[in-house]
Every structure is written in structure tokens, then in C-alpha cells.
Amino acid sequence: MTDLAPGRIRRRLGRIRPIWFAPVLAFVALAAWAFASPIGAAPDDDYHLVSTWCAVGGGEQCQPGSDPLSRDVDAEFSQVVCFAGHKDVSAACQESGWGEEGVVETDRGNFGGEYPPVYYATMHLFAGADIQSAALAMRLINAALFVALATALSVLLPATRVRTLLWGWLIATIPLGIFLIPSNNPSGWAVTGVGTAFLALLGWFETTGRRRWVLAALYLVGVVMAAGSRGDAGVYAIGASVTASIIASRRTRDFLLRSLLALAGVVIAVIFFVNAGQSGVGAVGFTGAEAGVGAGGGSAVPLSGFALAAYNLLMLPYLWTGVWGTWALGWFDTGLPAIVPWAAVAAFVAIGFTGLGRMDWRKAVSVAGVVLVLTVLPVYVLTVGHTRVGEALQPRYLLPLILLLALLLATMPPGRELRLSRLQTAVVLGALAIANLVALQADIRRYVTGADRQGLNLDAGAEWWWTGFPVGPTAVWVVGTLAYVGMLVLLWPRLRPTELTPSVR
């Protein structure tokens, strides 16, 4: 019996597939980004954190204010974003606010229904007296939710669509996406939800049996996540539903019946959108414009009418590339070295041009439609709001659309594959790994000491770090970087097909 035990163990170990560890490494990489910045580091986090604690009627830490659009909250919230907009100020300034007793009145929150309620209500389940610990737990939960949805899709989708999932997510999320997904900002849910909705609906059309019903449930989850987090994400969820339906369209009765699910998703998204205060932006544009870092370098001469529209159109690529690092992270105060946007954009362009070489009319219509929206929507919103690229409209608002474009470009017509040589694949993945490595280091550095100090050793001279956390900033950077590289290595076989695989399995 003792001789059989080692053999049984070896057989069981032999059944373990390396790809099973990819989701674990993905979560570790996202968790590193969750720990890389303090509470309040994402854009408008003072607003979003208060909105989370005050959701569903609030609690002890959120009481009615002097008018319906204000609340009395713990005084700790007032110090959460003390470093915002000051790149040389570390997050150590928060320490004076932790443990502060009393309340402060604020009108910075979702008290007038500007945002849909689902994100805030869900995160409110994890709110607690310790703001730092609760907010960090929310970040890790959002990271786990993303990994769980992506893993479920990779198991349920046809093999060719798994490559769509992997390439699409990889080339659209460095660095802004990987910063937002494990954050306290509802934009993270917008990104996760739109991508999930597109892939799950495509799988619903292209699979049979019980798995398609699970994909149907994932599609509805994606729509609710997107439309329930931001008003504009509801519009993007509709776009994901329409484009997935076009890609899968067939002149059959079965397709028409399955399209009822897409119709239900569109209805849900519309309901969320019309009930969100953000829907008014389409009519009047943004007000109270806030400039981003390095906002284009154009003329300071006031523009209006056609001149403003032309300026915004010509400067639009600068807004798009903000998702790959031409705009600073956080409150536009975490600047990134040029290698980050260069490497990340190169990866997107490489996969995008490869995808453009494998088109049919369905994919062509879908890609053209998304590009048209990516062009017309920001130019229109900026122009009617009398603002220009670099003001008010941020890259994170367009990230779900850019992700949808990446997924479409990586979507192959039946019988075709997105094929790269070994060297091409290695170069693209290497570029992504470098962009992640540099961006993660820059993000940690900005908050540990402020951007006025540099050096590879993030522990040296550290002014801020998580209290009681046993792993230091340099270790988080190294572990997060290695986890991301390890994930890419494990995904390599899935990214390079060895033979044609059917579009339905």
C-alpha cells in the first residue's frame, strides 16, 4: 500500500495543468496594484468613497446634512485625498486624519442620483468603521470579481473566443485599466462589465447546451455591472450588445430567438441610463472643466464653434492614448515615463493591425461603428460643453469603448485565426510586461515618497505605507511584476493557436 501512495500522488500531480495557475497570478498582479496606492488615489475617490458609505440609507458613519444634497460623515473622510494634485506630496499626509473624531458636512457624494446605485450599494456591504481596511477589501473584491468573470468566460467560450478575451484584455488595460479595476472607482466596474457583456453575449450566440445559459447569466451580470456603475457605461453596454449581435448575426429563427437576450440587456441598460443624472452630459457637455496633466500643448487662444470642434478632432488621439499612459494616473499627478505609453500603444497597434487583416462584413461594420462613436462622442461632448481635449473629459470615460474596440479587433471570423509568429508574440507580451513593470513602480513611488524622489529601492526613505502590512513597497512591486510576467508565460499557449479550431464547440 505504501508503494502505491507515491504513484497515486504523482498521477494526481500529473493532472495539474499550468494554465490553472494563471488566474491566481492575475489576481496577485491586480492585488499589487490595489496595494500600490493609498485610499483616495483614484480620480474623485473622495466622492466615490463617501457615496459608498452613504449608499442604501447610509449608517452610523453617514447622517443627513443640512440639506438633501449633503451628508454628515466621519471627519476621517476629509483627509482621504490630501495629496491629490500635488505630485511631490506623499500619502503620509493622511495620517493626521486617521482616528480623527467628529463629523464634517460634505456635498461630495451621490446624493442627487448622478450615478446609478448598484456599484455603491454593492460596495456598501463591505463598508465598516475602519475606512482604510474596508476600502482596501473592496479593491481586492473588485480584483477577484474581475478574475472570476474572466476565468468563467475562458472556460465557457469556444477556443477561438478565448483568444479574443485574452488579447483584448491584455492590450487595453495597461496601465489605466489595471489601475482602475482593483480600485474604489466605479469606472473599474464599467470596464469589467462592458468586456464581460460583449464576450458572454457572443458566447451565448455561438455555443449550445447548458454552457450557453451560464453565458446568458454572465451577460446580464456584465450589463448590470456596467450600467449600474456609470451612466455612460450603460450606453457602452448597449454598444457591446449590438456589436456582439452583429458579429454573430445569422438569418435563422434560432438567432432571432437568442437575440431576445440582447434586447433584454439593452432595456436594462436604458433603464439605468435614463435614471442617472449623468445622462444630461450628452445635451450640455461637461461643466467645471478640469485640466489633465500635459493637456495637449495646443494654443491657449479661446476657441468656439467650428474651430473648437476642429481642434478637438485633431487632438482626439491624445485623449485615446491616455488609457495607455500619455495622461498621468490618479488625480493626474502620477506621471509615467514615456516607455509606458510607447510600449502599451505598440502592443495595441500590433494586435489591432493583425486583426484588421482578418475581416468580414460583420466585423468591419462593428469596428467602424465603435471607431465612429469613439470619434463623434468625445468631440461632440467637449464642443457643446465649450471645452477642449485635456479638459473635463478623461480617458477613463472612454476606456470601456477602447476595450470593446480591442475585443472586436481580436475577434476572428469563422475559420480564421489571429496568428502571430513566436517572435511577434514575444515582442508584444514583452512590451506589455515592461509597461506594467515601469507603471507599477512609478505609481508606488509617487505615494511612498512623492515624485520628487526617485530610485529602484522603494523602501528607502519611505514616508507612507500600509500600517501593519508585512510586505514592503519594493516587495509588492517585485511580486506584482513577476506575477504579471508569470501570467503571460502561462497564457502563451492560449495566445498562439497551433491549428484551426472551430468557432463552436
**pLDDT of 218-263, one tens digit each?**
999 999 999 999 999 999 999 999 999 999 999 899 999 999 999 9
**Closest residue by Cα to residue 277 from 110, 36, 50:** 110
Q: What does 207-264 look like in DSSP terms, one character per residue? A: --SHHHHHHHHHHHHHHHHHHTT-HHHHHHHHHHHHHHHHHT--SSHHHHHHHHHHHH
What does DSSP say about strands 62-64 and 103-106: parallel, antiparallel, or unpaired? unpaired
Locate cell 458636512: which residue?
A: 105
Instruction: Give the integer Cα–Cα distance in Å for 442 and 433.
Output: 14
> Model pTM?
0.91
Instruction: Give the integer Cα–Cα distance in Å for 227 and 222.
Output: 8
Q: How confident is the model at residue 279 (pLDDT cuts 50, 70, 90)?
A: low
Quick check: 202 and 411 in contact, CB under 8 A? Answer: yes
**pLDDT of 161-217, one tens digit each?**
999 999 999 999 999 999 999 999 999 999 999 999 999 999 999 998 899 999 999
3-state helix/strand/coil string of 432-470:
HHHHHHHHHHHHHHHHHCCCCCCCCCCCCCCCCCCCCCC
Q: Is the dihedral of CA 497, 499, 500, 505 positive or negative?
A: negative
Mean pLDDT of 467-487: 94
Mean pLDDT of 473-489: 97
Q: How confident is the model at residue 502 (pLDDT cuts 50, 70, 90)?
A: very low
**Closest residue by Cα to residue 85 from 446, 477, 400:** 446
**pLDDT of 311-354, one tens digit each?**
999 999 999 999 999 999 999 999 999 999 999 999 999 999 99
Mean pLDDT of 393-398: 94
Query: Which has the minimum average pLDDT: 379-393, 410-424, 490-504?
Result: 490-504
**Sheet of strand 103-106: strand arrangement:** 62-64, 71-74, 103-106
3-state helix/strand/coil string of 377-419:
HHHHHHHHCCCCCCECCCHHHHHHHHHHHHHHHCCCCCCCCCC
pLDDT of residue 11: 64
**pLDDT of 84-127, one tens digit each?**
989 999 999 988 767 667 888 899 999 888 999 999 999 999 99
pLDDT of residue 7: 64
Is residue 294 over pLDDT 70?
A: no
